[in-house]
Amino acid sequence: MKKTVWALALSLCLCLLHGPANSLAQNEKLENCTVCHNVAERYANVPKMGHLKCTGCHMGDGTATEAQLAHSGMYPDPTDFTVIDLTCGACHPKIVASARTM
């Protein structure tokens, strides 16, 4: 019985210690954007951006394997005021609203 408890405790500790890899590596696994676009290093060290996926700001389909499908619905410049409510405004509605009144 004691051996079973110790084995379970050790397994649990190993699972907890293993934890997730850095968030950028996880995002690369979830999106195919970096297969064609080498931008991962540019954003990896930017505070508060390293955890975001490309599609979080640019939209599009990060799981597509063909460029045309991946870029469907994508916004190259998410700060463009014609789409900013959909892009930046999805997470930062107050900031976008205040920027519109400047």
Distance of alpha carbon 65 from alpha carbon 59, whole angstroms = 15
Instruction: Tell if the pTM clears 0.75, that is, is over it.
Output: no
Question: Does residue 70 sit within a domain?
Answer: yes
Residues 96, 90 contacting (CB under 8 angstroms): no
One-letter amino acid for residue 34 of the chain = T
One DSSP character per residue, 9-32 reads HHHHHHHHHH----HHHHHHHH-S
Residue numbers of the domain that contains 88: 21-100
Question: Does residue 15 sit within a domain?
Answer: no
Question: Does residue 2 sit within a domain?
Answer: no
Question: Does residue 1 sit within a domain?
Answer: no
Domain count, the chain: 1
For 58-94, write each residue's pLDDT tens digit: 999 999 999 999 999 999 999 999 999 999 999 999 9
Question: Does residue 69 sit within a domain?
Answer: yes
Residues 41, 34 contacting (CB under 8 angstroms): no
For 45-67, write each residue's pLDDT tens digit: 777 776 788 898 999 999 999 99
